[in-house]
Structure 1
Amino acid sequence: MAEFEQAVKENNLFGLGNLNTAYAQYFTGASYLQGLVQAQNEVDVNVANVNFEPGCRNNWHVHHDGFQILLVTAGKGWYQEAGKPARLLSAGDVVIIHEGIKHWHGATKASWFSHLAITKGTSEWLEAVTAEDYAKLG
């Protein structure tokens, strides 16, 4: 196991989480999910720690009735909005995703990627990012 992988698993402030079987159909590759806050009562956002193995990415998706904020905590990953070039992300980066914006995010081919996802509203899951399009990224 690579040194970075070991560090992600052992030193993740919010925990690696469990293998993300609940949303596996919307991911290419393995991810791990640690729920931190669930929307309830007067709190109307969900907060989750999401860890992506190298090469893992989620499908294109859109958030309705809200937004999503990604706080990158470790590794290297990609964020892309439809019709725009992909953006390379690393620890400390913040991404604000407004309602109705079609996008995806995930790890680079060679690095684990971790972020906190703060989400309000519902997610509509769409098609997978093609292997061909992903392969074009650095």
Structure 2
Amino acid sequence: MKTSTLTLTAILTLACAGSALAEGMQVSRNGSREGFIGSGEHFTGTAYVEPLFAANDPFRSNGGEVTFLPGARSNWHTHPAGQVIVVTGGTGWVQEEGGRKVVMQAGDVIWTPPGVRHWHGATDTTAVTHIAVQQFKDGENVIWGEPVSDEQYAGGTE
């Protein structure tokens, strides 16, 4: 009888714990998140942004999928707590201020440390899609700068 009581208690505990976890989880279905064309204030060309997840306490990061059409790019910017980019399709470029453009392709992962000024986007002939994840620090996850000039964009690559 003692074993049966312990087994029943364990099953009830697991069942309750499982339902508590299930009630707390959130599923964001593909196609349910409203995307938008990135603002001309922060992008040159066409960049389609689909938010993937928001910073929900205690998780202080957010993420989005961005598709840059050929020639499109972000402005120069920094991230107070850094950024990770996972390239999921196509070929693009990323550049740290003072450095050379670097080709990024599907499967590449780019880590940009906090405060490093950079830009990223498509090449002049190919589109690129990436997932960008950045953490908030003091309420900010990105600090935007000026557009990347056509001359800067056309500069050399590694």
Q: What does 1:1-138 align with in structure 2 at a 5 Å threshold?
A: 18-21=35-38, 23-64=39-80, 66-121=81-136, 122-137=141-156
| Structure 2: 5+ residue stretches without partners | 1-29
- How many equivalent pairs are there? 123
Q: Which has the larger radius of gyration?
A: 2
Residue identity (%): 37
1:37 and 1:19 map into 2 onto residues whose CA distance is 15
| Structure 1: 5+ residue stretches without partners | 1-13
TM-score of the two chains, using structure 2 as the length reference: 0.72
1:71 is aligned with what amino acid? V
Structural RMSD (CA): 1.8
1:126 and 1:94 map into 2 onto residues whose CA distance is 23
- Which structure features the higher share of helix residues? 2
The question of whether the paired residues in 1 share the 8 Å contact of 2:91 and 2:106 is answered with yes
Runs of 4+ in 1 over 4 A off after TM superposition: none
C-alpha change, 1:24 and 1:18, in structure 2 (3 Å) is farther
CA shift for structure 1 position 132: 1.3
CA shift for structure 1 position 137: 4.4
TM-score of the two chains, using structure 1 as the length reference: 0.82
The question of whether the paired residues in 2 share the 8 Å contact of 1:19 and 1:30 is answered with no
The question of whether the paired residues in 2 share the 8 Å contact of 1:78 and 1:107 is answered with yes
